[in-house]
Structure 1
Amino acid sequence: MPETIHLFWPGDYRPHPNNLAMPMIEATTARMEAALDRLNVRHTRVPHVLSKPNAAITHLGPIDAPMIGIYSHWVYGPHTVDGVVGKDSPLLLASNFDGTWPGLVGLLNTAACLEMVDRKASRIWTDADDWTADDRFMNQLEEWVKTGAIAHDRSAIRPAPAVSPSASATADAVLAEFRARRPLALMLGDTSMGMTNGYFGPRMLSKVGFSEHKVDQAWIIERGRKVTDERIETAYKFVCDKGVTFHYGGDFTPDATREQLRDYLAVLDMIEEFEADCLGWQYQLGLIGSRPPSDFNEGLFNSTCRPESNGDVITTATEADQGNLLPQEMMKRLLKRKGLHQAVFFHDIRWGAEHDGQFLWVLLNSGSSGAYAFNHNPDTLEGVHSYRQPAAYFPIPGGTFAGVSKAGAITWARAYLQDGELWMDIGTGHVVELPDDVCEVWWQGTTREWPFMAADLGIGRDTLMAHYMSNHIAVAYGDIFEEMVALSRAMNFKVRILKDGN
């Protein structure tokens, strides 16, 4: 690789997060530059934060040379993809491994977005303060410099196993439900925050037995005007009586929660109007200056205990992410068939570390985790805490749907597009309840207002970072692994299993 390597900075759409992260971006870039200097490689910086796709097109599009994206805070996938698509020059996504400045989140999301457009890229990461001191990192970086690609260990990627007759029977029963009435996903807007890898479209959805109906998010405002004060007050009394703890202060008041419940009820009415089975909610940006955040509502929909409930979870994926929504709805129905609680939790893969010799992932999404994770009681909202979403990102006050997830065995899954086909990753693991002091340190090191889950996913840091196709994951309490394998196959997904060790 004789050419000069170009280092670039993908960014957030919003200037404020980029400004907050700039010291970390600079420090991370300096670490990469030192690593390249150790390898005697020429390099230069692209002198712009790419905060919009047009910036990527303008500043990366003309470069037909090796490039390295520096991921050291939350970034949007298109702010890389749109500048590198249509060419095959070596591309490396390099991130820190940090919960406070989650470059790993941006790397995972961007890698999956690149896969959607068949643009090949390599991944590299480290948690070292001095990147030149991490031998694994330096060996992989040298491999990329010499060959233009990194070949990660693939021993944890396994074919789907044979399943038991009982698991097949459960999967067949759910498949019959889907074929009797094709599940309809109500999509509020399009994908959010660069999650282009989370939208499959009607052509791909039809191949696996799903349909979608898109509704503009602006309908929330229009329909919200028709929601009566009486319904809102009844809903507010319900969540209070069922045990939600509200941490009010400043501009976060009961009226802010009431406005969130107005949106919840407006969306509930749309779900009933269109007889939708599940919900994708665009969430950020579109209405961020007009309505409170949707986190509290998403948490309610993912709970059986909620205002005006029909007794079921309405499976809800934040960021309108169909890569989580499809497995969530499939897992929900499998859980019900097995007599297990039906809630499936939407989470971000935010960070990970060892505790007592065990590697645990910190799963931390802003609000799409239902209440059952915090209490294991389907009839209550106890254990739910609602904090104001940080004002720096959310100008209209509104609360989260937070808590600490309880211990238990889990099944997890994620759908994604690869080589023009829909795939499903499936795995097992368990949630761990950390000591209070450890939990608080990890939580404070990420985003304290958001729901917390510490989970052994059966795969450690390097397997997930090398091969996983998103920063999102669907998690369910209970063992439905074989049932999910059988159902995914029957619905025409390609299936792979991610599992470290034997």
Structure 2
Amino acid sequence: MARIGVISISDGREHVHARNARFIQSKQDTLIYSLIAAGHEVVTGDDLVATNTLATSVARQVARAEVDLTIFYYAVWSFPHFTMLAADATRSPLILLASTDPTEPGLVGMLAAGGALDQIGRRHTRLWGPPDDAELAAELAVHARAAAAVTGLRGSTFGRFGGRPMGMNTAVANTDQWMRQFGVDVEEIDQYELVLRAERADRAEAGKARKWIEAMAAGVHYDGKKLTPELLERQIRSYLAIREIIAERGLDFSGIKAQPELTEHFATMDVTEAFLNDPYDWNGPKEVHITATEADMDGALTMRLLHLISGDPVLFADVRHYHADLDVWDLCNSGQHATWYAARSADPAENLAKVNFYPEVFFFPAGGASVQHIAAPGRMTLARLTRNEGRYRLQLMLGEFESYDEATNERLIRQSTPEWPHAFARLDVEGPVFLGRFGANHIHAVPGDRRQEMRAVAELLDIDLDEWSR
């Protein structure tokens, strides 16, 4: 959950504040209890804000705690200039929250403060309701998760292994814009570093991992050419090499170009990317390290936000084919679908029992294993950050992953590339609308309905929202 600052704003007349202080404190205490009960950490100032000096000092005190989100609370009429001073000392996203108790004009205080902030262009969100209201608590939780995701981006580092893949402009972003808008630095890493380290990675560890995969997977289909035990271990050593680089350089998320250099001359990165994005490997549970295929920067950024909001691994896929007769999309990519998506289980054995490791297809002469499965069914949020004339937009929709009987699944995957992972998605958007407007070939997804949080993220980051529904 999030770390939330709460600052209550009062009336600047001493005799009025003296009368109101106990009322304000009781409302604030109820709000704090509600936030803590929802799992958030709450930070408050030493005092209620009833003077200009307190407006600044209390806000600075809360800001020093590095909160993800700050709530200015209005239980009574409040002098608007206190809000202006406190906002100037506040670095985090800001919510103006009004009590709706009719005995005091809290709504009036919030509206006066909000109008003043509008005049100087300070972005904020306005909410209102009883401090213990369940719907208000749920709405605050949405904004808290969004703010925590935005805060989680700032100060982070993206590891970009290789450059632009195969002329793919949508995979490359402006690093100055990333730092200015998102607070994200980009560390450029040559793929030769990966090759060198993979060659000297722990071969005993790679052998252990290979045996674990062979024991756990539905099948490892060696053909003696494009997939051998040696090639699979090379892919595993690539995973070990990148884990080492991540630790050394403090990378928070990554992207691997792979095509064409590694896929022509070394090995594909499918196994590496799948297990980086998984919440486990052969040594047990681990942190998900968001990694985008083809070093897709805006794809990785989308995935990072979805992960920070949900805590789940994030799907990466090409929009491969539209089965118009079924109104279903085949989301399929030679790179990673985290193996977690095969069953979305906390038990890796349950997921890997549905995963096959097939020899790579003709696109990739260097060979290795592709990580094949059909994503488990369920409601999904699908999203992608794209750019229109240099300005970011969030393209957002709800969908449903589907799986069918064995014969239907087989018929559908054989219409594209059966050796690759597939997610059959029924999207909440008409096919012509999607194909006419979607701004990339890659799309990303997490389980559940996360649209509210992603809308709030777009607002906080000054990103245009392009949301679709039928």
**Fold agreement, TM-score > 0.5:** yes
CA distance in 2, matches of 1:202, 1:309: 35
CA distance in 1, matches of 2:357, 2:190: 27
Alignment partner of 2:382: what SS?
A: strand
Q: Does residue 382 of structure 1 match 2:370?
A: no
Q: Which residue of 2 aligns with 1:35?
A: none
CA distance in 2, matches of 1:399, 1:177: 33
Of 314, 333, 339, the residue aligned with 1:371 is: 339
CA displacement 1:360-397 (0-9 Å, x = unmatched): 1110011311012111113313311111111x322222
Bigger mean CA offset, 433-442 vs 400-409: 433-442
Task: Determine what percentage of the aligned residue pairs are the same residue.
Answer: 24
CA distance in 2, matches of 1:489, 1:366: 33
Larger Rg belongs to: 2
Q: Does the 8 Å contact 1:220/1:263 carry over to 2?
A: yes
CA-CA distance at 1:244 after TM superposition: 5.4
CA displacement 1:6-48 (0-9 Å, x = unmatched): xxxxxxxxxxxxxxxxxxxxxxxxxxxxxxxxxxxxxxxxxxx
CA distance in 2, matches of 1:225, 1:254: 15
CA distance in 1, matches of 2:387, 2:356: 35
Alignment partner of 1:329: what SS?
A: helix
Of 418, 431, 443, the residue aligned with 2:388 is: 418
Q: Does residue 280 of structure 1 match 2:251?
A: no
Aligned partner letter, 1:284: Q
Q: Which residue of 1 aligns with 2:239?
A: 264
Q: Does the 8 Å contact 2:263/2:367 carry over to 1?
A: no
Q: Does residue 328 of structure 1 match 2:303?
A: yes
Q: Does residue 233 of structure 1 match 2:203?
A: no
Go from structure 1 to structure 2 and tell me whether the alpha carbon gap of 1:265 and 1:474 turns closer, same or farther (over 3 Å shift). same
Of 217, 220, 236, the residue aligned with 1:243 is: 217
Alignment partner of 2:213: what SS?
A: helix
When the two structures are aligned, how many residues end up with a matched partner?
Answer: 329
Alignment partner of 1:273: what SS?
A: helix
TM-score of the aligned structures, taking structure 2 as reference length: 0.67
CA-CA distance at 1:307 after TM superposition: 4.1
Bigger mean CA offset, 405-414 vs 251-260: 251-260
CA displacement 1:270-311 (0-9 Å, x = unmatched): 111111111101021122332111112111111112245662
Write the mapping of 1:49-448 to structure 2, written as runs, cut at 5 A: 164-179=139-154, 182-206=155-179, 207-243=181-217, 245-251=219-225, 252-307=227-282, 311-336=286-311, 342-354=312-324, 358-380=326-348, 381-390=352-361, 392-448=362-418
CA-CA distance at 1:326 after TM superposition: 0.6
CA-CA distance at 1:219 after TM superposition: 0.8
Bigger mean CA offset, 300-309 vs 196-205: 300-309
CA displacement 1:121-176 (0-9 Å, x = unmatched): xxxxxxxxxxxxxxxxxxxxxxxxxxxxxxxxxxxxxxxxx993331122122233
Unaligned runs of at least 5 residues, structure 2 = 1-126, 128-137
CA displacement 1:108-133 (0-9 Å, x = unmatched): xxxxxxxxxxxxxxxxxxxxxxxxxx
CA displacement 1:78-118 (0-9 Å, x = unmatched): xxxxxxxxxxxxxxxxxxxxxxxxxxxxxxxxxxxxxxxxx
Q: Does residue 487 of structure 1 match 2:457?
A: yes
Go from structure 1 to structure 2 and tell me whether the alpha carbon gap of 1:480 and 1:237 turns closer, same or farther (over 3 Å shift). same
Q: Does the 8 Å contact 1:371/1:382 carry over to 2?
A: no
Aligned partner letter, 1:195: M
Q: Does the 8 Å contact 1:434/1:454 carry over to 2?
A: no
Aligned partner letter, 1:200: A
Q: Give the structure with the larger helix fraction.
A: 2
CA distance in 2, matches of 1:435, 1:354: 19
Q: Which residue of 2 aligns with 1:70?
A: none
TM-score of the aligned structures, taking structure 1 as reference length: 0.63
Alignment partner of 1:387: what SS?
A: strand
CA-CA distance at 1:497 after TM superposition: 0.5
Q: Does the 8 Å contact 2:334/2:421 carry over to 1?
A: yes
CA displacement 1:184-205 (0-9 Å, x = unmatched): 1100001212211121121121
CA distance in 1, matches of 2:375, 2:264: 31
Q: Does the 8 Å contact 1:367/1:402 carry over to 2?
A: no
CA-CA distance at 1:435 after TM superposition: 2.6
Alignment partner of 1:400: what SS?
A: strand
CA-CA distance at 1:211 after TM superposition: 1.8
CA distance in 2, matches of 1:174, 1:471: 25
CA-CA distance at 1:228 after TM superposition: 2.0
Structure with greater contact order relative to length (CA < 8 Å, sep ≥ 6)? 1
Q: Does the 8 Å contact 1:198/1:416 carry over to 2?
A: no
Aligned partner letter, 1:255: E
Q: Does the 8 Å contact 2:372/2:419 carry over to 1?
A: yes
Q: Does the 8 Å contact 1:208/1:493 carry over to 2?
A: no
Aligned partner letter, 1:319: E
Q: Which residue of 2 aligns with 1:454?
A: 424
CA displacement 1:205-236 (0-9 Å, x = unmatched): 11123221110111112112321212212222
CA distance in 1, matches of 2:258, 2:218: 22
Q: Which residue of 2 aligns with 1:470?
A: 440
CA distance in 1, matches of 2:156, 2:396: 21
- RMSD over aligned Cα, in angstroms? 1.8
Q: Does the 8 Å contact 1:175/1:490 carry over to 2?
A: yes
CA-CA distance at 1:478 after TM superposition: 1.5
